[in-house]
Chain A
Amino acid sequence: MAVGAFLLTVFAVVPWLIHVSGRWDFYYTLTSVALLSIASGGVWLTFYIGRINIGQGAFALAGGYVSAILVTKYGFSFWVTIPLSGLFCALLAVLIGLPILRLRGVYFAMITLVLTEVARLAALALPITNGARGISSIPLPGELSIFGLTIIPDFSTIGNVKLAFYYLATVLMVVSFAGLYRLVNSRVGHLCRSLQQNEELASSIGVNIAYLRVIAFAISSFLGGISGAIFVAISRSIYPASFPVKDSVDFMLNCFLGGLGYVFGPMLGTLMIYFGWDLLFTTGRFQLLIYSAILIMLIVTLPNGILSLPLFNKREADK
């Protein structure tokens, strides 16, 4: 019921409202929110196995570059590069994750933060990424067709590209979160929760913790990668500074603010942080000051996230 209402809002009510009010710029905002919440959802999954991940910016950047390079240099269709960039990031996550997932708590947080910075440096230094100039004028997504049947038309022929990207992002968001929800409530999800509580104990009763945490980290990075790839398609350019450390920290903040104990926490957190920041734009140079002050007040008063408010937990309490 709630899910139906949510889907209706996202796919019908919001476009209708925007159409009526004529605020087309909201599409861009909401598309960004949807993409950022996909990446934050990934971060949330690493929280779920008890790791503080501040490295999602690195994977978003990597995913963006993979898509940009495949499209501009090798002429791939954009639609193929979405899963490819996700898979690339997942593979990268497995390689990096095998050593660093042995670290815990603050150590893991620190090394993932460093990873974000290193991704930027790597993008500057590697020959294929075109250094500080980045890759620009990336073409819009082309047509996606199977056996001559057009499934998604060429974006450059659509009159309203913003709406198209909005649907692309929200559909992916819904699919990602449905997947996350399914994962968390499956057997694997329960095993992940056991990692969060006590890894030694989980391991002693036969849970393959090394395997599970690498899988979780890979899924997380996959989500980061696809969101990065679509971001690049929207902005049609990518630079080493496209996903700075601030983004990685923001992904983490989104999860925290929404509440770490709830699958849909990152979505709510992203929405609030993004819109809060935009609304404060009118305050001019005090924007950052007010924003961070509100953030700190929220953390002090609600250390366990917005979804921990009694308002949202009525049904839990009734059970």
Chain B
Amino acid sequence: MEQIIANGLYLGAQYALIALGLTLIFALMNVLNFAHGQMYVIGGFVTYTVYAQLGLPFVVGVAASGVTLAIIGALVQKFLFGPVIRKSVREESTMLLAAGLAFLLDAVVLLLFGEKQRGVPKIVNGIFNYNDYTIVMPYDKILVGVLAILAIAAFILYMQYSKTGRAMRALAQDKVAAQLMGVDVDRYSIIGFALGAMLAGVVGGLLVTVTGINLGMGGPTSIKAFMMVMIGGAGVISGAIAGGFILGMLESVGLTVLAAYGDITYLVIFASLMVFLAIRPQGLMGKPWG
């Protein structure tokens, strides 16, 4: 039981960090970033290159992932999403663009890094063993979990207390009012997109030490991120965190409890999600109709 909770917390911290980036981009621009999983994959590969191939410290690798993705995010918003949002009659067009972007990033990853599964050497060796095998967890997983939680905390503090964070929250709340108060929408949209992409990159960099990384992980990651955002409510930061931890916990419990019935954890989670959304369409903390 304790083991399940520990696993759930570890998964939840990762998931929450992924969902945070997605929900931030959604809150600011009403864009559903299909390419989020691909951004995560790129982050993983950058850390792999820096840490495993160039032999630099792991922290540098994660930082490099974050910076690379921030740059990609900023460019994508400036040259792709920004113009399309301005020109398009229907806001769904951004979704098509995001899907196209997902294909493009997949292609880039394929050309730059190939399609092989890549792993990196362990960052810390050893296994944490609490109370004679009630909780067993490798140290590197614990480290990754702690780093993820630190990143979440830093993100919340940044959104809460910095000038940029306040501006972005204002934009998410009411675009027109924020504009009237002198918030530069274009500028903060770019910063927001960069920040959201950066979070995806950081998680990719962190998780490459545990699960490794390959080209095919992008799509499933996006889908998990969507589920978390739906549980918590789209565009709400607290919702993304809650959704991440809830999905992590459900997955951890499901894998143990439902193991006897085969691989049906996600089937069950989805069915429950549908029932839940029928009762509460906006998720746990979302505004009605996002």
Contacts and interface: CB of A to CB of B under 8 A. Distances in A.
Interface of A: 47, 52, 96, 98-100, 102-107, 109-111, 113-115, 117-118, 121-122, 124-125, 245-246, 249, 252-253, 256-257, 260, 285-286, 288-289, 291-293, 295-296, 299-300, 303-304
Contacts of A114: 223, 226-227, 230, 270, 273
B128 interface: no
Q: Per DSSP, are chain A's interface residues mostly helix, strand or loop, or mixed? A: helix
A292 B96 CA distance: 11
A105 B289 contact: yes
A292 B274 contact: no
B95 interface: yes
Interface string B213-229: 00000011001001101
Contacts of B273: 111, 114
Most chain B beta-carbon neighbours within 10 Å: one of A111, A122, A257, A304: A111
A306 B89 CA distance: 14
9 contacts: A52-B92, A103-B281, A109-B32, A110-B32, A110-B226, A118-B270, A285-B111, A292-B100, A299-B97
Given A118-B266, A292-B103, A304-B90, A299 B96 contact: yes
Among all A-B residue pairs, the 9 with the closest Cβ atoms:
A99-B278, A303-B88, A292-B103, A288-B107, A289-B107, A292-B104, A110-B226, A256-B96, A295-B100
Contacts of A98: 278
Interface string B165-209: 000000000000000000000000000000000000000000000
B89 to A, nearest CB: 5
Given A106-B32, A121-B263, A252-B95, 17 more contacts: A52-B95, A100-B274, A102-B281, A105-B289, A106-B26, A110-B234, A117-B220, A125-B267, A249-B99, A257-B96, A288-B103, A289-B104, A299-B100, A300-B84, A300-B97, A303-B84, A304-B89
A72 to B, nearest CB: 23
Nearest to B222: A113
A65 to B, nearest CB: 15
A245 B221 CA distance: 12
B274 A260 contact: no
Interface string B19-45: 000000010001010100000000000
Contact of A107 (B89, B110, B230): B230
Interface in B68-121: 80, 83-84, 87-90, 92-93, 95-97, 99-104, 106-108, 110-111
